[in-house]
Amino acid sequence: MTDYLAQTAVLLAALWPKLVAGFLITVEIATAAAPLALVFGLVLLAPRMDRRVFISGPTVAFVELMRNTPLLVQIYLIYFGLPVLGFFPSEFACGVAGIALQHGAFLVETYRGAIESVSVRQWDAARAIGMSRLAALRHVILPQAAMKILGPLGNQLIVLAKDTSLVSAIGVMELTMTGKLAIERSAASAEVFVAIALFYLALTTVIGGVMRALEYRVAGRF
């Protein structure tokens, strides 16, 4: 048993620099894609909530498409499709774009849910003192929606961090890909992936912790 542990330790120690390098790429992908997704979701929010069907319709269609097809296929579409049109973005860019598009679509629904969950009585109160719909939105509804969004947002970011592993399918040297390559050179495959799993666990735990702390600070008021 100790023999086994010693061997595994040696193996992982040798692999360590590569694993860390892969982990950093993973973090890079996530930090690139997350803000893009957040912004993209905001951009889609206004058309999504527009009352005119010819504006909200296409947005809804796009969101439904993203929700009902696998992210992997979306990434493949971008990676294999753009060269046909004459664009040759890097694998990294394709991966980030795919993740940002899918998560942006999910975030629109999260944003919408938060806004609609602010009680209609708040609208009543704001309008009763003479606020226009826009002023009510700006000063009463959106601030409250922003506070309600932290929980779902945290969960979404964790999923995003995990989704970076898919980019290994198009060859980006992030953590999972590093694992695949390492396997081909050594025998201790399962152990390598256990180590990789622990890296991801650390990442998602940190994200979760930070978001919860944020929620706690903000929610303290009400």
Partner 1 sequence: MINVLVTNLPYLLRGALVTLWLALAVVSLGTLLGTGLGILATGGSRVLRAVVTVYIFALRGIPVLVVMFLGYYAFPALGVRVNAYVAVGVAQIVYVGAFTAEIVRSAILSVHPGQAAAARSLGMRRGAILRAVLLPQARRIAVAPLLNNALTAVKQTSYASVVGAWELTYAAREIVERTLASFQIFLGVMAIYFIICYPLSLLARWYEKRLVVPH
Partner 2 sequence: MAMIEIEELRKSFGTTEVLKGVSFAVERGEVVVVLGPSGSGKSTLLRCINLLEDWQAGDIRIDSEIIGYQADAGGRRRAWPEARAAKVREQVGLVFQSFNLFPHRTALENVMMGPLHVRRMTKPRARELAAGLLDKVGLADKADRYPATLSGGQQQRVAIARALAMQPKVMLFDEVTSALDPELVGEVLIVMRRLAEEGMTMIIVTHEIPFARDVSDRIIFVDGGAIVEQGPPAAVLAAPSSARLKLFLRRFQGDYLAV
The residue ranges that bind partner 2 (CB under 8 A) are 121-122, 124-133, 135, 138-140, 143-144, 147, 221-222
d(CA 174, CA 28): 9
Q: Which of 61, 125 has the CB closer to partner 1? A: 61
Q: Which amino acid is at 85?
A: L
Measure the CA–CA gap between 175 and 56, rounded to whole angstroms.
Answer: 38
Smallest distance, partner 2 to C-beta of residue 131, A: 6
Distance of closest approach, residue 102 Cβ to partner 1, in angstroms: 10
Neighbours of 64 (CB within 10 A): 11
Amino acid at 182: A
209 vs 128, 141, 149, 216, CA distance in Å?
A: 40, 27, 16, 10
Return the one option of partner 2, partner 1, none that residue 194 interacts with (CB less than 5 to 8 A, by type): partner 1
Residue with tokens 């209609």: 120
Q: Which does 205 bind (CB under 5 to 8 A by kind): partner 2, partner 1, none?
A: partner 1
Binding mask 68-107 for partner 1 (x = CB under 8 A): xxxxxxx-xx--xx-xx-----------------------
Give the type of residue at 98. Answer: G
Here the tokens at position 180 are 């695949």
Instruction: Say whether residue 176 binds partner 1 (CB under 8 A).
Output: yes
Query: What are 52's two structure tokens?
Result: 């005119």
Binds 124: which of partner 1, partner 2, none (CB < 5-8 Å by kind) = partner 2
Distance from the Cα of residue 222 to its chain's centroid: 28
List contacts with partner 1 (CB under 8 A). 64-65, 67-74, 76-77, 80-81, 83-84, 158, 162-166, 168-169, 176, 179-180, 183, 189-190, 193-194, 196-197, 200-201, 204-205, 208
